[in-house]
Amino acid sequence: MNPRIGIDKVRVYPATLTLHMPDLCAARGHDPADIRDNMLIDERSANPPWEDPVTMAVNAALPMLTEEDKQDIELLLVASESGVDQEKPMSTWVQRHLGLPASVRNLEVKHACYGGTGSVQLAAGLLSSHMVSPKAKALVITTDQSRMHFNKPWEYVKGAAATAILLSRDPAMFEIEPGKYGVHTNEVNDLTRPTSRVETGNSETSLISYLDGLEGALDAYLAKLAEPIGYDYFVKNIYHTPFSGITVHATRAALRAFGGVPKAEARRIWEQKTLPSLKHVRRIGGTYSSSTFIDLVGLLDSCPELRPGDRIGMYSYGSGSCAEFYSGLLGPRAHEAAAAAGLGALLDARRRISVREYEEAERERTCYIDCGDYDVSTDGFRGWYDEHYRGKKHLVFKGCNEHFRQYGWS
């Protein structure tokens, strides 16, 4: 009998600054209704200069882990396309500052926005094997921040966040169904980060590749099942969310695999099955690998009627590209696990910043990239460091000394 493998706990670190879309639209001369009603974005998270993907990863996981959890973790995977070093993996900093055992196997994983889901599946596979101890757990952390994109059409869909995902053989939140998955890989030049400063690509190509990947992965998923199913096989559906509005198109594409429905009916199905999952992510912006796991928390926070054993369809896409459609069952304490994440409160606690403050933060962070010696200032944002960080034991980025990154506790 296969063990139950899946997500036991989740925590999200949505950064601590927020830029509201009406403010950005006013500054850029863009219709806010387009961003609100079509892109389905209300706010985006932003990082002060003393945060980076390493600090976000640690600050996501630290409140979630008990001392027992730490001792049981035998695998740490940090998935990101925002790596801060071309050689040293972020997982080593994360292992140190979380206080994980020296025996933990750790890696940094890169595959655009698919890296998180790929890491979860690899971790689940290891936990189901005889390669780890009976009490073993795995920790997967997804952590990303966007580059500077002033006045670009895609500026509105950028963001920052980290999500910590603890996997175990007795998952409270989400049990991954063994054997129920489909993968579709296709090399394509859609989005790219060719240097430490550049994040660019062709958004139209990326949208087409995202939908092609969904169709291919869902076809592969359906081929593994013993008998035909309908779309109602899934109680709810979660789709990778580079921006929330793409999930409308994803729903229509998925429904074609089940015979298709009229556009108005597809919209109704999307509103019933997928819209509730967007509760939190539309307040954060682009969260890269984190998006489907933030959507899972949002779904549980939005739908108290969901019950243990309800099947959720999950779709992940990463540029370049790899796509996966898989399914899982809600665990016996799924709502409790989502509530413990306290994501709504964390979003409310962020400091709202002006467009000018957002631009200053982005420029300061960008000017330091590739510099070998500098100290990060904690000034600005109306005393935000003193108010929100000082004495609170958040990991912060202090700067570089001969290219070696320096971290410490606030």
Angle between helices 263-273 and 246-256 (to 10 degrees): 110
Phi and psi at residue 164, in whole multiples of 5°? -105, 130
240 catalytic, yes or no? yes
367 catalytic, yes or no? no
Q: What six digits make up the tokens of 70?
A: 């730490």
Distance set, CA 174 to CA 140, 218, 247, 316, 374 (Å): 14, 20, 21, 16, 43
The reply to whether omega before 321 is within 30° of 0 (cis) is: yes
E strands in 186-280: 191-192, 200-201, 236-239
371 catalytic, yes or no? no
Q: Active-site residue among 97, 240, 335, 394?
A: 240
Q: Active-site residue among 25, 113, 322, 400?
A: 113
3-class SS of residue 13: strand
Write the CB contacts of 72 (distance below 8 Å, at least 6 apart in sequence).
135, 136, 137, 168
Write the CB contacts of 391 (distance below 8 Å, at least 6 apart in sequence).
410
Burial class (CB in 10 A: 0-12, 13-18, 19+), 67: exposed
Count of beta carbons in the 10 Å neighbourhood of residue 99: 11
Q: Active-site residue among 81, 108, 199, 357?
A: 81
DSSP secondary structure letter of residue 110: -
State the catalytic residues. 81, 113, 240
